Each structure stands twice: as C-alpha cells, then as structure tokens.
Amino acid sequence: MKYRLLNSFLLFSLVCGLLFLFSCGSNRAETKKDIVAEPEKMNERVSDNIHDILDYASSNDGKTDDSTNLNLLQPIKDYYADNNYQRIWSKDENFLPLADSMMMFIKHAREYGLFPEDYHHHTLQSFYKRIVADSAAVGDRRDATLWSKADLMLTDAFFLIATHLRKGRLGVDSMYMNPDSTLTDSFYHKNLQTVLNTQSITGVFQALEPHHQGYFELKKALKGFLDSADFEKQFTYVSYPYKDSLKFIKTLIKRLNEEGLLLNRSENVDTVSLRDAILKVQKKRNLKADGKFGVQLIRSLNNSDAEKFKRIAINLDRYKVLPQKMPDRYIWVNLPSYTLQLWDNDSVKLESKVVVGNPKTRTPLLTSQISNMVTYPQWTIPNSIILKEILPALKHNPGYLAKKGYMLVKGDGELVDPFTVDWSKYKKGIPYNVVQGSGDDNALGVLKFNFPNKYAVYLHDTNQRYLFKRDGRALSHGCVRVEQWEKLTYYISRLDSLNYSADINRVPIDSIQSWLQRKEKHSVRVKSKLPVFFRYFTNTVKNGRIVFFEDIYNEDKVARETYFSNKQ
C-alpha cells in the first residue's frame, strides 16, 4: 500500500514539475490573464503586472512574451520604478486621449520617414480593438495584464520614436559625432514628462527633429509621395553587386517572375529564357536592351515605392547626424547631385556644378574649413595615383613623365631624371614626388582651395572644363572640381575684406585678379575660415516633388541592407 502511495506521490510530483516547466517556457503574458472583478482595484493590479512583466523582460532579453520585445528596456524600467509602476496611458478601464494620439502617430509614422511596425503597431491596434470592443462584464476590458502590456508597449514606442527622430537609425560615425549622439535616461524621461505636462505628442516629437531646411522640405514632399505610393505589392529586393552568384541568379529569377516575364515559374531557368526575360524588362523600362544584367537593370527593378521610401528614410536620417545648428556661412558639397552650394544666412548665394571622385577613388565625406587659396598651383600627385597609374607606366617607359608634363622631385626640391632610376625595384611606392607644374594645362586648373583633412583632397578648378556638361560627373581621383571656382574665390576674398578690413596682411581682390592674369603662383591665407561640408544625400526636392540621384558610391544600398532589409 505504501509503495502505491509513494508511486502516486512521485507521479503527482512529476506531473506538477512538467506543468511548471511548460508554464515557465510558455508565453507568460499571452497565457496568463488577470481579470479584475472589482473596477476600483484595476489600477493597483495593473501596477503589479507592470512590475512583474518588467522583471520577466529583464531576464529574457527584453521579451515580454514570444511575440513582443521592449526595445529600450532600461529607461522603461527606470521610469516606471521612479513612478511606483503607475500606468501612463490609461486609467481605470479606458485609454487616455494621449494613448489615442500616440497610436495615431504610430499609424502615420511614415510621414516622418519611420516604419509603424517598429513601434508595435499591429499589436497595439489589436489590443485597442479587443479592449474597446469588449463590453462584457468580464473580458479583455477587465484584463489587467492586457492593460499592462499595452502601457509598456506605448512607452517603448514613445522612447524609440524619440530616439529615431533625434539621432536616426544609421550607425554612429565619428565624423558626425555630436553631443546628442548618445541618449541617456534623462533624455527619455524628460520628453515623456513634457508630453504628460503639455498633453501634446506631436509637439514634443517635432521639437526633436533636425532644424535643417533640406529636412523640412523632404519631409513635406514625403506626404505627396505617400499619397500616391503603392506599398501593397511587395517586390523582391535584388542586391547588386553580389558576392554569391548562385544566390544572385535565384533572386533575379524570382524578381523577374514577379514581373510575369518568365514562362517557367521555377528557380531553374535556362540561359536563353533568362536573357529573353531581361530583354523584355529592359525594353519595358527604356534601358539599353542587351539581355545582360547590370547596375542599371537592377536599380530599375529595385525602384519600387517601398524601396524609394527606404531611400527617403535613409536621407532623412542623414540630416539627424548633422550639427543641430549649421554655421551662418558654409560650403555644402552634395556628392550624388554633383553640386556645390554656398550658404549665407539660410540662403544660397552661389551654386555650381562639380566633378567628384569615381567609385574606385571616391570623394570622402568630411567636415573642414577653407584655410588658403592658391593661384596657378602645382599638383603633387597622390601616392594612390602613383601606385595605380604612374609607377606601372614608368616601368614600361620612363619617358611617360615628360609626355604627361610631370616632374620627378626629391623631398628637398631637387629634380630627378626618371631615366636614371631603376623602376623595377619599386612595388609599394617611390621615394620621390611626382609634380605637375603650374599653368593652364595643370589638372588643378588655375586655382585651388585648401582645407585640412586626412584624405589629401581639396576643391579646385580644372583643365577639363568640358566635363561639367556631362550628367554623370563621378570622374575624378577624389578631389572636387568646381565649375564656378572664380565666383567662389571672389566671395571668399570679399568676406575677408569685410571681416578683416584693418588687417595689413589681408590680400585684396584686385591682387588675386592680377596674379591670375599674370599666371603667377601665390598662396592666399583665408582668415574667415569658411566651413566645408562634403555630404551624401540622394534625395532633394524640386518644385515640391522628390528627386532621386544615382547612388554613385552604393551608400544607400549599404544602409538599406544594414538597417532596413527587413522593413516592409
């Protein structure tokens, strides 16, 4: 008998243990309802549930259940702990107006270049419908767990939106670092408290946005884009250039199938059928019809409204890493648009076409200040060009330098005869400078603008001014060639004249004009230290509509695949 009792006890213990294990491994908040029969006890029970859910999330990497994750758990925990775990967005058995405003903001988050699903959109909408629609005495409206989870998700959404509006979603780059790049608990708590005090969600969020004209213009034009955008049909994104050729071909076939261009709907398509499908899409989209895939075809296939929106979102985020306040005057070079703008007190005083680096020798992103200008400069050729172009040519023919108008110079300025050098022994560099003398044929043209930077790049005139007539101008070795160099020169000179009129060392405008006429080399110190920004924006707004520029350095592609690949 006692053995039967012992076995029954062991069986009972085993069953209880299994039930405990299953309950611990289950979706805690989904399976456990907490129905409050007495309405006056709802607030207390919600607070208890918030405390328990946060404890659970702390031990489960921010997860409140299998489908929900709190993105900013620490500031959420700290805020609720400081406020005795009182709920924020509801009271008794009703959502507060602030909750309605918050859910409406999330629903229309695309107008800010944000993705609603990043902020628990569907889950919150589901909760809202369940709670509001439930009119029974006992049901979702009386479920303290449901109210607790909704409160935490709304707070998490608020904190995450505040983060994305302030500093964006792109990775931190030291070049862009500003005081707001690291957000502390006080940032989140202060802004949430402001909302509670002012009862205004939109006002607080708008105060966090960048104060840049380009940002506001792009955001305003985004509304028009969204009005006509079609996000219903999702197309497969094709990554190009690719590393895995087999994966690329399968993805391309899938994308062409979505266009209805392949009779064979499987992944196994023969070369002829694939070529015919590519020809059809090239003709349909007015591309060069050669039956071959390349960058233009892939960009065209990826040019859906969903992908355009991602590019807009990326560009809106690029404004968020600029200084909160730009200088009163500065030079702005936007590489994808091939333009230079001179900004003076919120207006463009000068705009010029530019030539920028080709993708293999790209122009870097940088921030600096104009330090000096040089009339009729010499060009000391960078080591990168020497290794790629000049050294191989010298090994073949030492007369290459004379043919190009270059000089071989020692560090002390002494000229070297290239025919006396054994070029075959050099592989990683040469112990000489290669210099092109000043003159109208110099690659730098007749004027150069210097500014400190680790990349050895600068703004300058060019002896190939015909290149400014081209639409695509990613053609240089990295420096930026300026069509309106003369207007920029005189603007800087006049600026120094106004700011430093009493300085006897200041170089007047007429002196610079005389040196240029006489083709003389002179260095002009710039005392006004005009800031220079080299940036990468592939969207702008013209006549109220968004214009897209070519992603010449694939920066949009990298940002899209790194931060937005799973967005719909």
Q: Give the residue numbers marked as catalytic.
A: 460, 479
According to DSSP, the β-strands at 480-482 and 459-460 are parallel
- In whole angstroms, what is the distance from residue 529 CA to residue 265 CA? 62
Longest Cα pair distance anywhere in the chain, in angstroms?
Answer: 120
* CB-CB contact of 299 with 316 (8 Å): no
- In whole angstroms, what is the distance from residue 8 CA to residue 286 CA? 79
State the amino acid at position 335 in one-letter form: L
* CB-CB contact of 348 with 342 (8 Å): yes
Name 50's Cβ contacts closer than 8 Å, sequence gap at least 6: 80, 85, 87, 148, 151, 152
- The SS3 call for residue 427 is coil
Name 503's Cβ contacts closer than 8 Å, sequence gap at least 6: 527
Strands (E), 430-473: 433-436, 447-450, 459-460
Strands (E), 17-158: 90-91, 94-95
Written as one string, the DSSP assignment of 94-129 is: EE-HHHHHHHHHHHTGGGGT--GGGGTHHHHHHHHH
- In this structure, the number of other CB atoms found within 10 A of the CB of residue 500 comes to 13
- In this structure, the number of other CB atoms found within 10 A of the CB of residue 188 comes to 22
* CB-CB contact of 449 with 373 (8 Å): yes
